[in-house]
Amino acid sequence: MSTSTIAAIGTALSNSGISIIRISGEDSLKIINKIFKTKATLSPNSIVFGKIYDKDKLLDTVLVSYFKAPRSYTGEDICEINCHGGTQITKETLELVLENGAVLAEPGEFSKRAFLNGKMDLSQAEAVINLINAKTKTEARVFSNQLDGNISKKIKKLREDLIYLLAHIEVSVDYPEYDYEEVVPEHVIDLLNNKIDEITNIIDTYEQGRIIQNGINVAIVGKPNVGKSSLLNKLANYEKAIVTDIPGTTRDIVEERVNIGDVVLNISDTAGIRDTEDIVEKIGVEKSLKKLEEVDLVIYMFSALDEIDEKDLKLLSRIENKGLKYIVLINKMDKVEKSIFDTFMKQLEQNDIKNVIPVSVINDEGIEKLKNKIQEIFNKNDLDYEHELIVTNARHKDLLKKSVEFLNQALQEIKNNNPIDIVSIYIKDASKYLGEIIGADVSVDVVNKIFEKFCLGK
C-alpha cells in the first residue's frame, strides 16, 4: 500500500453550501498547518473555524476537522476542509493541498486504505459504493445493513466453524499421542450438512438481492401499434420513444430505467411482433423474441381495436410455459365499449391467461393499477431488511456456491470412507472461498478491481 498522503474532493463538484476536501496520511496535519490559520487549537476529533491562505493570499474561510489515527475512516490521520461550495474555490483549495505535499487520490483509495488498515472488511467496502449509488429506500436499507456488517458477521461465523473443525482434524491426525477428542465421521457429516444448509439459504436470497440492486428487467411486447412506446413514455414521464400511427416505427429495442414506488424497472420497449418482409424490422422482431429470455417480467399489450389471434396466444403460452412473470394489458379501452374487454377476458380465461388489466395509456387510465400489480408481483414486504442477510453481489454468490461445492465434496469423501485428512483438503478450500468474500483470503487484483469502481473522494 502507498504511504503517500492523498487528497480529493469528497463532495459533488457543484455550486452548493459547502464542499469537503479530504486528506488522509501521515502528513495530513503537516499540510493543514501550512495553509490553515486559526486562533483555536486543532486537536484530534475536533472541528475549528479559520482561514485558508495561499502564501499571503486569503483563499477562503473554512472549518477544518482532524481525526488522529487509528480513530478515523481510513485508519490514518485525516483532515477535512469544509470550504464554501463553489466549483472554483473548491478546485483552488484542492490544488493548494496538492501543492503542499499531498497526491491526488485514486478512485476508492480512501475506502481501500480503510480495508487494508482493518477498518472494514471487503464486503463492507463493497457496500459503501452500493450505498452511494442506491436509488430506492430498499436499496439504501439493505446496503446500510451490509455496511454495518450483517454479511461479515455471518460469513466470519461460518468460516470460524470450519476452521475449528479443521484444527480438530489436524490435531487428531498429527498428534495421536495426545488425549484429544477423536473426530467422529457422523459428527463431521452433521456439521457439514448444517453449514451447507446455512450457506444455501444465503445463496437463495440472491435473486431478490439482484432485483433490489439492479432492478426488474421488463420487456413490453405485442403487435405493432398497440401502444408499447406510449406506455414506455408514460412510465418514464417523458418522450423517450418515438410514437406514430405507422406500424413498425419501433425497429430496435428502446431502453429506460424507471422508478415505481420502491421498485426500479429496466424497461425495454420492443419492436412490434409481426410477419414482415422489411429486413431491418425483421431483425427488430427477432431481438424482441430474444429479449424474452433475459427479463424478469413481460408486459404483453393488446389493442382493444384488434382481435386476439393464434400468434398472440402462442406467444403468451410460450411466456407462461417458461415460468416468466407477466401482465397483460388491453389498451385503447377509451375507444371501445366494455363488452369488447369482456370478450377479450373470456378468450384469455379460456387459455388460462391471468393478470389482465384494461388501460387507456393516452388517458392515463389503468396505469396506477399496472404499477400496483408490478409491486404486488415483486412484493418485498415479507423480507426483514433490518435483520435478514440479503446477498446482492454476484461475486459473493459465486464464492458461496464454490464453498458449498467443496463442502459437498468433503461429505462425499467421508461417505466413501476416505481418510479424514483428505476430507480436510476440501474443507480448507470451502473456508478459503468464504474468506474471499470478506477479504481474508483474496488476491491484490480482486481488491484493485473492486475499488476502481468507486468515485474520487471515497
Same domain, 177 and 221: no
Q: Strand pairing partners for 7? A: 23, 104
Show the 3-state SS of 3-25: CCCEEEECCCCCCEEEEEEEEEC
pLDDT band of 148, cuts 50, 70, 90: confident
Same domain, 84 and 134: no
Does the structure show a pLDDT above 90 at 69? yes
Q: Which pLDDT value is given to residue 54?
A: 93
CATH label of the domain that carries residue 57 = 3.30.1360.120
Q: Which pLDDT value is given to residue 257?
A: 84
Residue that is last in its domain, among 95, 119, 143: 119
Q: Which pLDDT value is given to residue 150?
A: 87
CATH label of the domain that carries residue 395 = 1.20.120.430
* Mean pLDDT of the 353-381 span: 86
* Mean pLDDT of the 57-61 span: 95
Of residues 278 and 421, which shows the higher confidence score?
421
CATH label of the domain that carries residue 341 = 3.40.50.300
* % residues pLDDT > 70 (the chain): 85
154 domain residue, yes or no: yes
Query: E strands along 279-324, which residues?
Result: 297-303
Does the structure show a pLDDT above 60 at 95? yes
1 domain residue, yes or no: no
Same domain, 312 and 412: no
Same domain, 188 and 239: no
Q: Which pLDDT value is given to residue 236?
A: 81
Same domain, 45 and 152: no
Same domain, 245 and 175: no
446 domain residue, yes or no: no
277 domain residue, yes or no: yes
Q: What is the mean pLDDT of the chain?
A: 84
Same domain, 397 and 373: no
382 domain residue, yes or no: no
447 domain residue, yes or no: no
Given a contact cutoff of 8 angstroms between Cβ atoms, the answer to whether 84 and 11 are in contact is no
Distance between CA 424 and CA 431 in Å, rounded? Answer: 10
35 domain residue, yes or no: yes
pLDDT band of 274, cuts 50, 70, 90: very low
Of residues 383 and 307, which shows the higher confidence score?
307
444 domain residue, yes or no: no
Does the structure show a pLDDT above 60 at 283? no
Quote the pTM value.
0.75
Does the structure show a pLDDT above 80 at 384? no
pLDDT digits (tens, 9 = 90+) for 27-48: 999 999 999 999 888 999 999 9
Same domain, 102 and 166: no
Q: Which pLDDT value is given to residue 31?
A: 96
Q: How many CA atoms lie within 13 A of 93 on its CB side?
A: 32
Same domain, 289 and 236: yes
Residue 256 Rama label (left phi>0; alpha psi -120 to 50; beta):
beta
Please state which of the ranges 6-20, 172-186, 347-361, 418-432 shows the lowest mean pLDDT. 172-186
pLDDT digits (tens, 9 = 90+) for 297-346: 989 888 888 888 888 887 788 788 777 888 999 999 988 888 888 888 88
* Mean pLDDT of the 65-93 span: 95
pLDDT digits (tens, 9 = 90+) for 121-143: 989 988 888 888 787 788 888 88
Same domain, 115 and 64: yes
Distance between CA 175 and CA 277 in Å, rounded? Answer: 79
Task: Note down the domain range covering 347.
Answer: 215-377
Helix, strand, or coil (residue 262): coil
Same domain, 355 and 400: no
Number of domains in the chain: 3
Does the structure show a pLDDT above 80 at 391? yes
Same domain, 349 and 231: yes
Does the structure show a pLDDT above 70 at 393? yes
Q: Which pLDDT value is given to residue 398?
A: 96
Strongest mean pLDDT among 1-10, 48-57, 181-190, 289-298:
48-57
* Mean pLDDT of the 80-100 span: 94
Write the CB contacts of 70 (distance below 8 Å, at least 6 apart in sequence). Answer: 76, 117, 119
